[in-house]
Every structure is written in structure tokens, then in C-alpha cells.
Chain A
Amino acid sequence: MTSSTAERTAMTFRTLPAATLCAAAAALLSALGACAPAPRVQCDFSPLVMGQEVLPPGPLMMPTTPGTMKEIPLNTVSMIDPGVAGRVMVQSVMAGRNAAGNLAVTARLVNCTDYPQQVQGRTQFFDEAQRSAEPPSAWQRLHLPPRSFTSYNEVSVSGPAVGSFIIELRSGN
């Protein structure tokens, strides 16, 4: 750019009204924002809402009187606080026996929001007859930074007597 061209450009900017310059700057910033990469963690809750009535495969806890309540799937996570359901998603649930013969469970949780979240989790362990094998574990507080993963871990203490479990999650905010 020659010096005369630069002077002409500077003159043009000087003669433009301030409001026009501000609008142009805002548009430029907006365009730059649109180019920024989207967060890696993106959640879509719609399949969960649409598939609410479909029970996952696996054992179910049945009511004593049929029809009085919905079957509760075992070996899954139960969101007992509706406030958590739209903000935190369960990415996976795993369980296995450790060296001591106890059942170690893990649920990987994702904070789907742009804000820090706190949730509390506990686990109820059942025997083969779906009786409580031991008292439920104490509530464990988990801190999830925005768009991050964390794992909830718990382990039973009743050895091979434990056959199934339910992880319960509630808001910790």
C-alpha cells in the first residue's frame, strides 16, 4: 500500500460516523467468534427424552403389585433430581469384581453446560434376590468443570453377595 492510499484509507475512517465504525467492529468480532472451534463436548438430550419409555436390557426391579410403579432398571444410573438430568449426562456405566471380590462400579459423567456443576452420587448394592446387600454408600460430591468429564467410583464391601446395583445422582449445587 502506497502512502497516498494509506492516507486515503485513514481519511475514509475519519469521515465515517462513529456508529458505523462500532457496527463494523461488532460484526468483525461476531465473525471471529463464529470461526472459533465448538467445544468438544456436545450433548444431545433428545434421544433420552424420546426413548424414556424404552427400558435398557438387563435386570429390572419389579413392583410387588404389578402396574403400581414402573420397573426400575438395575446396573444403571438413576437421576433422582430432575435438575441434574438436563445438565449432566451419563456417558457410560461399568462394573467389575476387584481382587477382594467386591463389586467396583464406575459411571462416567459429562457436564454438558458452560458452567461448573456439582453432583452427588451414591450406590445401592443388591444381592441376587434384589435385597439390599449392605447399606447404601454415603453421598459422594463430584465437581465438574464446564464441558468436562469426571468419574464416579464406588465399591461394595459385601464380597460376592452383591449381584446388582443402582447409582443414584442428585444435584450438589
Chain B
Amino acid sequence: MPEADFRSYYGRPVVKETVWGPDIPTYLFLGGLAGASSTLAAGAHLTGRPELARALKCGAAGAISLSMVALVHDLGRRTRFVNMLRVLKVTSPMSIGTWILSGYTPLALAAAAFAVTRKLPRAGLAATITAGLFGPAVASYTAVLLGDTAAPAWHEAHRELPFLFAGSAATAAGGLGMLAVRPGQAGQAIRFAVLGAAGEIAAKSLLLQRLGAAAEPYQTGRAGQLMDISEVLTSTGLAIAVLAGRSRVGAPLAGLTLMAASALTRFGVFEAGRASARDPKYTVVPQRDRLRDVRPES
């Protein structure tokens, strides 16, 4: 981004950097993993892949449980986490997310419990399907959570972030499936991961293209490194999955690689938002340009 004509108050930030810690990108990964796993599990369940469905349901239950811990841990006043349930506000993605998670979490836990105990198959089916329908909401609302802020890199990316996050979630869930079941049972997981990774790559390239100079926080510094490593891992995992996804070594290797890629994407996006808030140029320059477009003479 050009530095010319850019003025600031002693180079200090205009907007505040998020106070959220590593709990939040961890949750972005785990929540995405859980949500997409539940959706794929429903598909696997309905198409007669009980081994894959069971593994994904257990993964979703574990990931969403850890998510809850991370979310409460990040609060400034942890004992008041329940205050999230005082209101329902459509203007607050965190409020909507709270209610999505409140609906989804018991269903994901129930689906896993029914799958493991193999009791009450009808109730298990109902929990599996409803968790599978909630899953995509869990996986994609987090993009709105970040987009609805004043952090320039998050807000500017609000069009592509939902697709980036949905793709990243499918990548992770497909990876989990490959890791958790016998290679012969992982066909659906491989296809899901391939579709997810393709979506993730497409959304990211769209994001970089549309933002232009404003995409700099995604390409430089720690965020840039994380995004680069994530991209390499995504491509590598994708290649292994397609070429050797049904082999005893290839399946878990591709699965782990894709899950790591998904996690790094989330940490990369998180860091890009932090970096863009720290540097006043990402706030001032686009706003100045906007004013110049409206009032060319000033």
C-alpha cells in the first residue's frame, strides 16, 4: 500500500487491535472442523458408511467441546459466560453464534453418543441429521464474526471470508475422515476434502485479487507466512489425497496435512486482522481515498 500523503498521530493505530488471544483462531479451526464433520457425517450415515460417520461424529463432539473451553477461556470475565444467553441480537454475530452453538452442541454430542453406544438408532438418526444441518452455520458464521469489525483486513474481506472458512472447514473435516477410518472407507472424506480445498484456494485468490493493496496484511509478516505455509500444505495434502488417498500411508498423511492447513489458514486470517489494526495506514489510506472519490477537489 502506498505510504505517500499518509498522515497519522505519531504512527499510532486508529482502531484497536483485537483483545482476543490464540483461543479464538483455535476455535475458528475447531468450530469449522466440528460443523463440517457433522455435515459430512450425516451424508456418510445416510449413504451407509457407518465407520466414517461414527468417526466424524466423535471428532465433531470432541472439537466442539474443546471450542467451548476455548471460547469461555478467552472471556475477560469467564464466570459470566452465561450472560451471552440474556439476549438474541441479529446485529451481533457473536450473539447469533452463541445461539447457533447452543443448538448445535447438544445435537453433536448426542449424535456421537448414539453412534458410539449404537443405542436408539432412530434418535441417533434424528440427532445426526439435525447436527448436520446446524454444522454449516457453525462453520460459516465465524466469517461474519470477524467481518463485522473495524479491523481493516477482516472487514474488507467480508465477501470472501465465509467461503474461505467454509472451504477450510470442509478441508479439515475431510482430513479428519481420512485420518480416522480405514483407507478403503475414506472415499467420501477424500472427495469432501478436495472440494473444500478447492473452494478455500478459490476464495483466497478472489480475496487477494479484489482487495488489491488492502490485501497486504494477508501477504506480509507473520500472517503472510502462515497463509503461505497453509497454501503449500493445502496443495500438498490435496495432491496426496488425490494420488494416494486410498493407501495405508497416504490417507492419514493427507488427512493430517489438510487439517494442519486448515488450522494455519485460521491463524493466518486472525493475524492479518491484528496486523491491519496495528498499522494506521490500513485504516486511514482507504478512507482518505474514499473521501477523495466523493469530493475530488478537496
Do A and B interact with each other, yes or no?
A: no
Residues of B within 8 A of A (CB): none
